[in-house]
Structure 1
Amino acid sequence: MATAKHEPRALAWLIVSGLVLLLDQLSKHWVLTTLPEHSAVPVFDGWWNWYRSYNTGAAFSFLSNAGGWQKYFFIGLALAITGVLTHWLSKIPRRHWQIALPYTLVIGGALSNVTDRLVRGHVIDFIQWYWQEFYWPAFNLADAAILAGAAGIAAQGLFAKKRMT
C-alpha cells in the first residue's frame, strides 16, 4: 500500500509575519522618537506627509469614538482572524508561496496592531497621503501589509483556475 509523501507546510512562512511585525514596530518607535504629534512633516510635497496620530478604532478610524469597548473588540477580532489564517496556512503546502504570502502579511499586520492596542491602548498611524484638499486617512506599515494581504487573498478567490494540490 502506497503512503502519501509528507510535504512541508507553509507555517514556515510565518517568518514573513514576524518581519512585518518587527518592521512595523520599529517604524512606530521611530515615529514616537522623531515626529511631532499631529503636525505634518512633508516627505514629497503635494502628496505625502509623515503625520503622527493615534487611532483607537479600526481602519479609517471606524468606531474610534465608541467609548473604549472597541479596543477589546478589535483585539479579539484580530486574534480570531489570525487564528483562522494560521490554521489555513498550516494546510497549505510550503511550495505554494503565492497562496501563503498574503495570509502571512495579514497575520503580521494584525499582530502588530494588536501589539499597539495592548501596549499603548491605540494604534500609531503616521503615513498620510493627500492630493490638493483630499487627504487619505493616516495609516501605518501594518495597515499596508493587511491591505496587500487582503488584496492577494481576494485576487486568489477571483482568479484561481485550479484548486491547490
Structure 2
Amino acid sequence: MSGTTPAAASIGRSIAPVLAVMTLTLSLDQASKAWAWNTLRGAPGRVAGDGLVSFAFAFNPGAAFGLAASHPTAPLGFFVAASVGLGILIRLGLRAETPAMRVAAGLGAGGIAGNLIDRLIRNHPRRIDWLREATFADFLEHPTAIADAIASQHRYLDIPRHGVIDFVVVSYGPGRTWPAFNLADAAIVVALAWLVVQTISPPRHRVGRR
C-alpha cells in the first residue's frame, strides 16, 4: 500500500519537468560561462560563421544586457529581484496546466539561477586609482582596502567586483551589435515570451467550442 497521496503525486508530476528543464538550462549556462572565463578572458574575440555572431568576454555587474551596471545598489537589487523571480517561476511551474508552461517555467528558472550563481561566485576585480576614481559607494563597500592603500601610499588597488559573465555578441547591421549576453539571458527572454504566448492563447480544449 503506497503512502503517497494523490495531491503529492500530482505535485511530483508537475515539478519533475520544471526541475529537469531548469537543471539542463543551468548546466548548459554554467558550462558555457566556464568556457568563456577560461578561454575568452584576456583574449581576442572569436567570430562565428559569417560574423553575425561573435564571442567576446565581458563582465557585467548590471542586469541583463548590461543595464544599470554602474548603480551603487545594483548588486543587492539584482540579487533580491532574481531570488523573487526564481520563486515565482517555480511556483508557476507547479500550478501550470500545460506541459508547455512547465517547460517555459523551468527554462526561465534555470536562466535566473545561472545568473544568480554568477553573482555569488564570480569576482572580476577592477583596478582603480582611489584618489581619482573611487566613488562614494567604493568607500562604503571597501573601506579597509582603501584605508590600507592610503596607509601604504599606494594610489592603485583592486576592488572586488561581482557580476555575470556575458560573451555572446550579435550583429544586426554594419558596426551595430546587440549588448553582450549569455545563455541564461537568452533562456529568460525565450521563457518569458513563451509564457506570454501560452497565457494569451486559448487552451486547446476550448478551441472549436461554441
TM-score over 0.5 (shorter chain)? yes
TM-score category (smaller protein): 0.7 to 0.9
Residues in 1 aligned to 2:84 and 2:189: alpha-carbon distance in whole angstroms: 17
Matched letter for residue 33 of structure 1: N
Q: State the Cα distance separating 1:45 from its structure 2 match.
A: 3.2
Question: What is the match of residue 71 of structure 2?
Answer: 66
- The alignment's TM-score, normalised by the length of structure 2, stands at 0.69
SS at match of 1:18: helix
Residue type of the alignment partner of 2:30: Q
Q: Distance in 1 between matches of 2:201 and 2:43?
A: 41
Query: For 1:139 and 1:133, how far apart are their aligned partners in 2?
Result: 18
Aligned residue-pair number: 158
Aligned-residue offset at 1:159: 1.6
1:18 aligns with 2:23: yes
Structure 1 runs (4+) deviating above 4 angstroms are none
1:106 corresponds in structure 2 to 108
Alpha-carbon deviations, 1:48-100, whole Å to 9, x = none? Answer: 11111011111221110112x2111111101101111212222235xx21111
Amino acid at match of 2:84: A
**Superposition pairs for residues 4-153 of structure 1, below 5 Å?**
6=7, 8-9=10-11, 10-13=14-17, 14-37=19-42, 39-67=44-72, 69-92=73-96, 96-120=98-122, 121-130=162-171, 131-153=173-195
RMSD: 2.2
Counterparts of 1:58 and 1:74 in 2: how far apart (Å)? 7
CA–CA separation in structure 2 for the residues paired with 1:138 and 1:66:
19
Amino acid at match of 2:179: P
Structure of higher CA gyration radius: 2
Distance in 2 between residues matched to 1:163 and 1:113, nearest whole Å? 37
TM-score scaled by length of structure 1: 0.87
Counterpart of 1:92, as a letter, is: A
CA spacing shift, 1:36–1:92, aligned 2, 3 Å: closer
- What do the CA deviations read for 1:95-141 (whole angstroms, capped 9, x no partner)? x2111111111100000000000111110001111132110111111
**Tell me, which stretches of 5 or more residues in structure 1 are unaligned?**
none
- 1:37 Cα deviation after fit: 3.3
Structure 2 CA distance for partners of 1:97 and 1:33, relative to 1, 3 Å: same
